[in-house]
Structure 1
Amino acid sequence: MPLTSWPYLAFPGTAREAMTFYHEVFGGELTLTTYGQIPTEGMPFTPDPEAVAHAQLESADLRLAGGDDPSIEGASMESRVYSLLVGVDTVDDGRALIDRFVAGGGEIVMPFALAPWGDTYGQVKDRFGVIWSFVAPGERREESQLLG
């Protein structure tokens, strides 16, 4: 049975802004469905009709979903518990994406640099508090070099 896994982010009222920004960064097709566009009868809360019930971003290389969760309104997305890992083909591709996040109000968490395992790796926290990790393949180092 083939499986598909997509990251899903529950936003505290910022789903439209965040998913629109991610669409600007990654391209692809973005669909947004508001609570006002779906039946809400029987829901355990009364949602804002303008809040995003479901958003989906699909590009050639990325799938991301999310929506506004009224139960966490006012919460922070910032967490060291999770990050989204994006593999890129080249170091230049990684730097370009990180630059887009920084230009959009993000901040570098870990510089995009050669990692001990031989790839180039870094992290940026976007203006919504989500940490994005980027990795570009590099020349693999011999295990003996890594161990000392």
Structure 2
Amino acid sequence: MVGTISTYIAFNGNTTEALKHWQEVFGGELNLLTYGQLTLEGMPFDPPADALAHGVLTLDNGGLISGSDSFEGEMLVKDTAYSMLYNAESVEDGRARIDKIVAAGGEEAMKFEQAPWGGFFGQVFDKFGVMWNISSD
């Protein structure tokens, strides 16, 4: 088996909402497992039954976005120290993804346009505060 890297993110109680939103924007198959669906014997904490224990969005291109709910209190998610990168199939696809994110309450941070390295590139924060870098050749 070849090692891979994928994204895992936790929000304070609304990770399911985020994963469903990203499925609407990027497509793919979403699998969700709540704590209520698990046997919790031996768990070091007592989570709400409807909280997300593990979710996986398998994108059509093979990428993965996984996550679960966090319980540590308020979390600051919006930052530029990390981001998600989506390599669009075309310039039109890249623009369409940005438009979907903005239409759902996101904010464009860097206009999607010709980059110095020859492709197209732009940045957008989604309604959850996650920065998406959108790139296309």
TM-score past 0.5 threshold: yes
Measure how far apart 1:27 and its partner are.
1.4
Q: How far apart, CA to CA, are the structure 2 residues paired with 1:44 and 1:80?
A: 33
Corresponding residue of 1:5: 5
Q: How far apart, CA to CA, are the structure 2 residues paired with 1:104 and 1:44?
A: 37
Q: Secondary structure at the match of 1:70?
A: coil
State the TM-score, normalized to the length of structure 2.
0.94
Measure how far apart 1:116 and its partner are.
1.3
1:86-108 Cα offsets, whole Å, 9 max, x none, are 11121111000000000111000
Contact conserved, 1:123 with 1:134, CA < 8 A, in 2?
A: yes
Corresponding residue of 2:66: 65
Measure how far apart 1:44 and its partner are.
2.2
- Pairwise mapping of residues 45-124 of structure 1 onto structure 2 (< 5 A)? 45-61=45-61, 62-71=63-72, 73-124=73-124
What is the count of residue pairs matched by the alignment?
A: 136
Matched letter for residue 70 of structure 1: F
Runs of 4+ with >6 A deviation: none
Q: How far apart, CA to CA, are the structure 2 residues paired with 1:86 and 1:134?
A: 5
Q: Secondary structure at the match of 1:86?
A: strand
Measure how far apart 1:77 and its partner are.
1.5
Matched letter for residue 131 of structure 1: M
- In the alignment, structure 2 segments of 5+ residues that lack a partner are none
Identity of aligned residues (%): 45
Deviates more, 1:35-44 or 1:86-95: 35-44
Q: How far apart, CA to CA, are the structure 1 residues paired with 2:130 and 2:40?
A: 28
Are 1:23 and 2:41 counterparts?
no
Q: How far apart, CA to CA, are the structure 2 residues paired with 1:60 and 1:29?
A: 8
Q: How far apart, CA to CA, are the structure 1 residues paired with 2:34 and 2:52?
A: 4
Matched letter for residue 63 of structure 1: L
For the pair shown, which has the larger CA radius of gyration, 1 or 2? 1
Q: How far apart, CA to CA, are the structure 2 residues paired with 1:27 and 1:63?
A: 11
